[in-house]
Structure formats: C-alpha cells, structure tokens
Amino acid sequence: MPNTIALIAHTSRTVDLTRFASAHAPTLSRYHLMTTAETADRIQAATGLNLEPKLSGSLGEIAAEVASGNVLAVIFLADAIAVPWEPSLDVLLQFCNVHNVALATNLATAEAIVKQLAKTRVAHLIFNPVAGQRDAGQDLLLIRELLEPHLSLKIHSTTPEVEPEQLVKVAIAANADLIIAAGGDGTVSAVAGALIGKSIPLGIIPRGTANAFAVALGIPALLPVRSACQVILANCTQTVDAAYCNNIPMILLAGIGYEANVVETADRALKDRWGTLAYLMAGWQTIDRQEEFEIEIEAEEKVHRFEAGAITIANAAPPTSVLAQGAGEVSIDDGLLDVTVVTAQSKLQAVTTMLRLLGAGITKTQLNQQNVIHGRTRRLKVTTNPPQKVVVDGEIIGTTPIEVKCVPNGLTVLIPASLAS
C-alpha cells in the first residue's frame, strides 16, 4: 500500500484538523503527509510534523496524486454548509471512489482510519537500481506487487549522489517499523551498518552478484526476490552479531591479501559480464600473483605471528566465502569473530586448499590441514609486512593495519521462519 496521507480542511475546520494531527502525531509521523500550503504551515507549527505543501485553493494536485496510486488515505474535514470560495469535496470524493482510496470527511471516520494505520507496519525500501544483472524495473514491480498489499511501503532509490546510509537516516527519522535493503552485498552492508545498535529490523531482498549475507541468513537463492519478500512478510526476527573494522561497519567479513586482490580484480565490468563467475575468474587470475607476507595478530592479550597469503576475519559467511571456512561454519550469533589464516606453497596447493575449505563449509566440518589455521576472538588487531589491501564486505577500504571488534547481537534481521530458534 502507498505511504502518503492527505490532510485537508476547509477554513472553519483547520483548528479541528490541527488538533487531530497533534493528537495522532506519533502515527502520522510514520507517513508522508501532504496538504494545502496554508494548512501545512499551521499543522507544522503546532505539531512539528513535516508536510508537503500543495497549491491552496485547488485540490487538483492532490487529486492527481490519488489518481496516480500514491495516496493511502485522504482526511478532508469539510464545512457542513458548502462555501463557494472553498475547494469542493465532490471532485476529490469521485477520485477516491474510482481509485478505492479511504476518505474521511469528519473526525469520527478520521479516527477510524488513523487507528487502522497505527496497526499497519510501515516499511522503507532502499532500492539499488544498478545492482546485479536483473531488470531493476521488473524487480521493483514484483516487490511492490508482493509487499504493498500487506505493508505501507515507502520507496527510496540510491543514486551516485545519495548513499544508502543517508536513506536509512530518513527512514529512522520517519519512525519506520522495518527497513528493507534491495541490492547487492554493498547495499545490504551499508544499510545494515547504519542499523547496528538500532532495534529496527532489517529485511533483505538479494539482487546482487554474490548475495553472501542473504545466503548466510538462509534466504533461499531460488527465485530470490519472491523468496525474500515471503521472508519479510513472515516477520520472523532474530538478533545477530555485527562488527566494526577500523570503525567501518562490517556484517560479513574482512579479507587481507588474496581475497582483497580478488575483489579488486572482479570489477563492475567483469561482474556485469560474468555474474558470480566473475569472482572465480578473478581468483584464478590473482592466484599466480599472490605472495606471502608477514602477519602479526594481537588478540586476547597475546601476539601471534605467521607468514601467509591470506587472512580472513568473518562475522558471517556462506560456504562460498571459502577463505572463512577454517572451522567449517561461521556462527552469526556467538559474539565471536572467526579468523582463518591460509598459506600455500604452490598454485596446486592453493586450489586444493580452497576446494577443501569449500567442502568444509558445505558439510560444516572443521578442516584439519597444516596450512590452514583457525581461531575465534571478540576483537583483534592485524598488522602486516608489507602493508596489504583490505576488503570489508566487498569494498576495498585501504591497507593494513586494521582493528576489528565484534558487536554481539548488534543487528536485528528478518530470517526464514523455518530457521527461527
């Protein structure tokens, strides 16, 4: 369902409308509000609510919004006796009837509408139109078709100028009941990072190349948009861990060395052309170039030193994030980070080790192999010589050293009901 409410009053009823808006401000603040310009100033001054002003003296703009399907309800407190110079209710009544939009013309029906709205979940969808290889327009139509009958849905699209974090702030300020990230792991990570420590649940609609976090949460990969919407509507929440790497939010993992080089090689052009296979191709290209480096890990008041070609610090990771699978499974709610250090003396050993790590992740069994070291900790500092590139949740953030800390139960997410504990 749409997320806009129109608040209108004839001059003699403006005080009534202002009092009504003030009494129901907590509910109304969750919606996009529009009204005529003079009424907007009065209600905003009395309640602090943000309203979009439309032209006074005519209801044409509001009627057009109704006709476009953008309006959830209209509250129009009209004079009992028609006044010639006031906007007529008749045209708006006709539009609301044709387009099946709720219309209240007195305080009793307005109260009934608002009481129902108070029970309706308001969801803000943060949609990345350039994620993945799917048709963004078709995906958005499908999402609206599946969710709008059950949720009041406010849609925000990311742009090069508007980052997901900014849109999350808008949603939080609007008292959203639920925030949904529709995009790849970069979009999901950005939205989730802005929700760490908040109680607002995060819904995920995977539309990217790898969709690692969605897979880690058990969201079915088959028909991902449809499956994810079903998970959102089931409204089954769970608190999971999050983390910070050099104060940058992290929900998946940090990779140093080989993994960072793979991500850098698998650029947007390669992913657009090959999809998930882009990471496999990038990994094959990178494996010959990866050199071992010195690693120093400070954790639990101890210092550990290694020589290796890759180190992965994971908060969450599906089996396909092979370099995180030293223990065979990364728990997302144990309050600990999984640390895996991998060495390889040849290309053959590197390929064999990654295949065995993949197998360990699929079977959820710990890999006992001398060139794979695994441990768990709440926080750690990693220094390398020479400095190495670092990737966090699919984005290069700079080079070592890094400090990573877990935030136990830092994020509330929607998961399939079948996986609820």
- Which amino acid is residue 414, in one-letter code? L
Distance CA 398, CA 408 (A): 25
DSSP 371: T
CATH code: domain of residue 209:
3.40.50.10330
Question: Are the CB atoms for 299 and 311 separated by under 8 Å?
Answer: no
Cα distances (angstroms) measured from residue 161 to each of 157, 167, 190, 268: 11, 11, 15, 18
* Sequential pLDDT tens for the chain (421 residues): 788 999 998 888 899 999 999 999 989 998 999 988 888 888 999 998 989 888 655 678 888 889 988 899 999 998 876 666 566 778 888 899 999 999 999 999 999 999 999 888 999 999 999 887 789 999 999 999 999 989 989 999 999 899 999 999 999 998 899 999 999 888 999 999 999 999 999 999 999 878 889 999 998 877 889 999 999 999 999 999 999 999 999 999 999 987 777 766 665 565 555 455 455 555 545 666 667 889 999 998 899 999 888 899 999 998 888 888 888 889 999 999 999 998 877 767 777 877 787 787 888 888 888 888 899 999 999 999 999 999 999 888 999 999 999 999 999 999 998 776 5
Query: Which three-class secondary structure state does DSSP give residue 206?
Result: strand
Burial category of 308 from C-beta neighbours within 10 Å (exposed 0-12, middle 13-18, buried 19 and up): buried
Residues 291, 306 within the same domain:
yes
Given 118, 152, 181, the domain boundary residue is 118
pLDDT per position as a tens digit, 214-250: 999 998 877 889 999 999 999 999 999 999 999 999 9
Residues 279, 360 within the same domain:
yes
Query: Which three-class secondary structure state does DSSP give residue 38?
Result: helix
Residues 114, 126 within the same domain:
no
Given 174, 205, 235, the domain boundary residue is 235
CATH code: domain of residue 37:
3.40.50.1380
Distance CA 234, CA 209 (A): 25
Residues 113, 199 within the same domain:
no
Residues 170, 309 within the same domain:
no
- Which amino acid is residue 23, in one-letter code? A
Q: Which domain holds residue 106?
A: 4-118
Residues 35, 175 within the same domain:
no
Strand 71-77 to strand 102-104: parallel, antiparallel, or no bridges (unpaired)? parallel
Q: Give the H/E segment covering residue 343.
A: none
Query: Which three-class secondary structure state does DSSP give residue 237?
Result: strand
Please tell me the total count of domains within the chain: 3
Closest CA to 316 of 221, 203, 235, 392: 392
Residue 23 belongs to a domain: yes
Residues 160, 226 within the same domain:
yes
Residue 415 belongs to a domain: no
CATH code: domain of residue 265:
2.60.200.40
Whole-model pTM: value is: 0.80
Residue 137 belongs to a domain: yes
Question: Are the CB atoms for 36 and 56 separated by under 8 Å?
Answer: yes
Place of tokens 């090689």: 265
- 277: CB partners within 8 A, 6+ apart: none
